[in-house]
Structure 1
């Protein structure tokens, strides 16, 4: 399926939800309207009609005294005349007192009309929302100012829109439920089934009413939350002018060439890419940086970029200050956050649990998601333009070739930096040489990765969206030449860390970079300080992770054999077989309907055969759970746990259905049973197993056992990857 087809399919599903659910409610409302009894407008005429029926019943009763008289209804069923007469007398009394009979009859069309009216309003509300959203999306593509203005306006209108949508659907559902109570209320003699149905319908209606009020309260609370920018968590340390004068001089020279203002704070670290921000920033140490412009510089990349490439990258980042990109990002974040808060409130709050009411909430939450998606496209569009403009600023500082070289070299180095960071994080202690030393070792042994394989990738950034690498190079007008690739994959390091005074081994005298010569400063081994900080965090993370993984791995059992609990189904069909045999014998003895007796006898034989089938199902294992995987029925091989992506369990009518979603391309071993018990659905890439319960185990306990075995396998794999003995 092409991307265009997928897009249209997703759009069709969304329209199906937005308009399908109100249409379904409308159809039910119309059906109820057609079933509604005629309202009692002329009570006197109705009483006279009922009295006429009573006189007719009395005449029939007089012909057959002693309560032996009967009458047939429209379906041909016989009823005692005295009972029918009493029902009519009670109805006459009810009409004379304007009681339940009249009230329920008059309410039915009103309730059905309410369902229809609210459903139609919900349909119109959905259509209005779609038209308005498309209009706002088009405006957002005109300029960033329009984007911000329309998004801000949409954020204010969205909660009201979603609340109205939910209340309209709840307003359609409540009379729909109450309508079905009306015929029951007209009966004088309620059965237990009638009472249960009344409690269910009434309870659901009251719960919907409560939920509607709760939605109003939750959205009101969400709207009162202040729009705040949450701090960005960054692992790194600030560098002052006194600590690294050469670095600051270098940044000053680049800023002068761009015409952008200087950053207020320089932060260096090991585990991020280059970025600038005006968001609040909180360091891993807990320190909150002063509000202002922050420029983050990663040591692993500085160790392999030359001065021109670093100047191009910093020029690009400072270019975001020229276009006020960081300020726009800072203004968008709280709007996104507020929209998410309202979506959570509509969905049922932070302690949300899935329920049948999700069907009624879904059109509102889906509209909220579509609202975010439409503006995400606009944000992405303008972000892409601003990134290309920032690249142009970097090109002005040095050259387009320097920007292109820096982009390709960072892409070539990124996988090795990630590998070194992951190794340090897994070990929970400083690896030999630290992250920086490990990167240098990987470059020396493996060499740089080919950046031409990553032209469709985007560079990571905490707040903004970057275009693809190929698009950025094309905008710079720099082709991917062999010389450019050779530079990108050059394993030679850079002396900039020493020249900037960020790593031990700095020259004793002032160095010369693009900034020129400055007075030397006492070297602060910033790399060592950053490594200690990262290793400390990694050790704490590793310790907590190992405890969790060992707890999960301990849930595994050596081998567990699972048999189906077929006793109930076997007993049921044995009982049916005996009933059929008994009925057939009775028919034969009475000499009545020999053909029917033969048919009943044949039915008994079939029931007996089915009972034997269920008995055989319970004799052989349905599953064998082992540490490496699960053996299904008569399969000759295990289905590895690694082949299973997820589980789903459904229980109904003493049957337990286990759905195993498989990884793409996985073909499960043949199970040796028919589709009645298990099947592989190739199109959906899943195995469906139908069990008649589990012997000596509750279904919930079995589901937990199966999932725990699966989780334990992955826990053991992760422990092994982290170098721990399993």
Structure 2
């Protein structure tokens, strides 16, 4: 897979070289000045493309060696990444410049051929004007790229983390701080400067500045404690998780994040901005997209190293959590936290969409969980625990790294939770605070409940009708015209000239396109897929794809050909093929995504044919996904009232 990604970086330059060689071969049969100029321009294009390949090769070598060296230490990772980050814009601009000029040379060569061999009637003049416009577009793109160099890849300035919660000073809760210091002493950890408690996040630590919503701004090392999870964990489990989080301070992981994340985020933002500015035209695909592909490959290569260090940091912090309590307690805490996410979300849905009198966050949570015993802990064992500051390995791998066996006793203990009203440790340290802050939290949410419910009902009322998505026949006709033209040209060259390799190649390519035309014409007779209120259905899908299982969607369009990417929330493949060739629907196992390929899509609305651009398709899919979720959420809310 790595070599495929690297080879794809050279695909456009190789195509330009093949075209340049073909241009040289075509011009070599003549002996006038026009043919000499064509050869000179083709050779210049080959030279420029060679420099472009050299630039890409240097970029690949530097990036690969830097990523490997970055595995020696996190300090080296920051240094190497920063060096490559500063070098990459110049490599990208070099690739854009030389690749663009090579294409300009080949277009000039074709213009010289047209002026010498094409009669300058209306069609010939249009052809020349089209060439001039293409050259102008490429040159304008090159100028814009050069002017934007100084703005490219600026370091991202981190913003304060906005937190809904309460800061507990030592004077506010001396017993809690004393308990934390006991953990610090036992686990040989570093003390936090601030402790914040709240409802909306899971456990985490940060060295970034924290802005309390409606309150003070905190600096230094901050430990965040979620009242929701702590109300449902035993004291030893809370101690293990807090020890894990403080282990990040001990390993200086938060300081590493402060140094590295601005660089990494700045790089991501710059690439995304350049990609958003790129259009779907063939000029962008020839000139700008190769440079963006190199930048994306660079980020992906370093991402593997970043993930490598992230796993090491998490396992080291896990050991700190085990020292602060025990490996057994930390393992059961991990399993419980993974299983509790959905129930906690449900409790907040209860608060945000149908509040009752004297409702309290912890009381709502207790009510939801009384119906949930025992917890289904195995369903999320291969998932990563969500975290606002970092990524995590899977729960199973983290437990295995602590040499803890997933025995029946461990699983039974992890599937049994202590309810808030029975949690002695929680009530001693946080009971009064949770009640007062919970009531305040609910009161602040009350004015929004009616609006939240109305928005949910409005969403649920949309996207209820089935919509068929078709593909325009013009795509098939265009492909057929190209195929027949290549066949006729290839046959003519083979029959009436000295048949060469290129003549036979044109003929073979034209004949190869004909079966594809037949496939596309057959597909145009029925909808590619249908959007219903709850599913995506299609003759090319073995099973309906539930809209509620789609986490996100992305739509890309190039030359009237659209690719839709759907991220799934579960690991179910729904029987979708993983094959690549000529598949309308394709499942990508490693990414848990589904790709949909369709040319020039349209739908019928009030009897009229409506063509869909990428944005319109994205809005349509997004509306159906959101409406399906809203209906499911309303049904869940009605069942729990």
Alignment TM-score > 0.5, same fold: yes
Instruction: Classify the secondary structure of the residue corresponding to 2:431.
Output: coil
Aligned positions of 1:309-328 closer than 5 A? 309-328=237-256
Confirm or deny that 1:330 pairs with 2:241: no
Confirm or deny that 1:717 pairs with 2:628: yes
Per-residue CA distance 1:625-673 (angstroms, 9 max, x = gap): 987899999xxxx989959988999999xxx999999995479xxxxxx
Match of 2:480 in 1: none
Instruction: Classify the secondary structure of the residue corresponding to 2:106.
Output: helix
The equivalent position to 1:342 in structure 2, one of 256, 260, 270, is: 270
Q: Structure 1 408/138 Cα, relative in aligned 2: closer, same or farther at 3 Å?
A: same
Match of 1:590 in 2: none
> Bigger shift: 122-131 or 701-710?
701-710
Instruction: Classify the secondary structure of the residue corresponding to 1:457.
Output: coil
Confirm or deny that 1:19 pairs with 2:26: no
Deviation (angstroms), 1:263: 1.7
Confirm or deny that 1:126 pairs with 2:56: yes
Q: Structure 1 476/331 Cα, relative in aligned 2: closer, same or farther at 3 Å?
A: same
Residues 13, 53 of structure 2: 8 Å contact kept: yes
Match of 1:388 in 2: 315
In 2: Cα distance, 1:34 partner to 1:288 partner:
74
In 2: Cα distance, 1:330 partner to 1:698 partner:
53
The equivalent position to 2:89 in structure 1, one of 159, 163, 166, is: 159
In 2: Cα distance, 1:226 partner to 1:387 partner:
26
Deviation (angstroms), 1:138: 1.1
Match of 2:27 in 1: 36
Instruction: Classify the secondary structure of the residue corresponding to 1:297.
Output: strand
In 2: Cα distance, 1:155 partner to 1:701 partner:
38
The equivalent position to 1:525 in structure 2, one of 436, 459, 468, is: 436
Instruction: Classify the secondary structure of the residue corresponding to 1:492.
Output: coil
In 2: Cα distance, 1:236 partner to 1:16 partner:
50
Instruction: Classify the secondary structure of the residue corresponding to 1:525.
Output: helix
Per-residue CA distance 1:166-222 (angstroms, 9 max, x = gap): 112112111111111113334796211111111111111111111011112223213
Confirm or deny that 1:496 pairs with 2:431: no
Match of 1:266 in 2: 195
Instruction: Decide which structure has the larger Cα Rg and report it.
Output: 1
In 2: Cα distance, 1:683 partner to 1:622 partner:
13
Instruction: Classify the secondary structure of the residue corresponding to 2:346.
Output: helix
Match of 2:505 in 1: none
Aligned positions of 1:537-686 closer than 5 A? 552-553=462-463, 665=574
Aligned positions of 1:396-545 closer than 5 A? 396-425=323-352, 427=353, 429=355, 433-493=359-419, 494-500=423-429, 502-504=430-432, 525-533=436-444
Match of 1:211 in 2: 141
Residues 319, 394 of structure 1: 8 Å contact kept: yes
In 1: Cα distance, 2:438 partner to 2:601 partner:
59
Instruction: Classify the secondary structure of the residue corresponding to 1:456.
Output: coil
Deviation (angstroms), 1:115: 0.9
In 2: Cα distance, 1:179 partner to 1:239 partner:
74
Confirm or deny that 1:257 pairs with 2:186: yes
Deviation (angstroms), 1:136: 0.8
Residues 428, 535 of structure 1: 8 Å contact kept: no
Q: Structure 1 448/156 Cα, relative in aligned 2: closer, same or farther at 3 Å?
A: farther
Instruction: Classify the secondary structure of the residue corresponding to 1:276.
Output: strand
Per-residue CA distance 1:328-353 (angstroms, 9 max, x = gap): 01111111122123323543xx5443
In 2: Cα distance, 1:366 partner to 1:702 partner:
23
In 1: Cα distance, 2:472 partner to 2:403 partner:
68
Q: Structure 1 388/275 Cα, relative in aligned 2: closer, same or farther at 3 Å?
A: same
Aligned positions of 1:233-382 closer than 5 A? 233-285=162-214, 287=215, 289-347=217-275, 350-356=276-282, 357-382=284-309
Deviation (angstroms), 1:403: 2.4
Instruction: Classify the secondary structure of the residue corresponding to 1:477.
Output: coil
In 2: Cα distance, 1:303 partner to 1:647 partner:
39
Residues 163, 346 of structure 1: 8 Å contact kept: no
Match of 1:64 in 2: none
In 1: Cα distance, 2:194 partner to 2:457 partner:
37
Deviation (angstroms), 1:405: 3.2
Q: Normalising to structure 2: TM-score of the pair?
A: 0.74
In 2: Cα distance, 1:492 partner to 1:367 partner:
52
Instruction: Classify the secondary structure of the residue corresponding to 2:392.
Output: coil
Instruction: Classify the secondary structure of the residue corresponding to 1:213.
Output: helix
Q: Structure 1 245/531 Cα, relative in aligned 2: closer, same or farther at 3 Å?
A: farther
In 2: Cα distance, 1:718 partner to 1:666 partner:
23
In 1: Cα distance, 2:473 partner to 2:46 partner:
47
Q: Where do 5+ consecutive residues of structure 1 fail to align?
A: 1-7, 41-45, 47-101, 507-522, 570-613, 668-678
Q: Normalising to structure 1: TM-score of the pair?
A: 0.66
Q: How many equivalent pairs are there? A: 564
Match of 2:494 in 1: none
Residues 413, 448 of structure 1: 8 Å contact kept: no
In 2: Cα distance, 1:433 partner to 1:682 partner:
47
Match of 1:573 in 2: none
In 2: Cα distance, 1:562 partner to 1:145 partner:
53
> Bigger shift: 624-633 or 291-300?
624-633
Residues 312, 403 of structure 1: 8 Å contact kept: yes
Match of 1:609 in 2: none
In 2: Cα distance, 1:473 partner to 1:499 partner:
30
Cα RMSD of the aligned pairs, angstroms, is 4.7
Deviation (angstroms), 1:119: 1.2
Deviation (angstroms), 1:696: 6.6
Q: Structure 1 661/497 Cα, relative in aligned 2: closer, same or farther at 3 Å?
A: closer
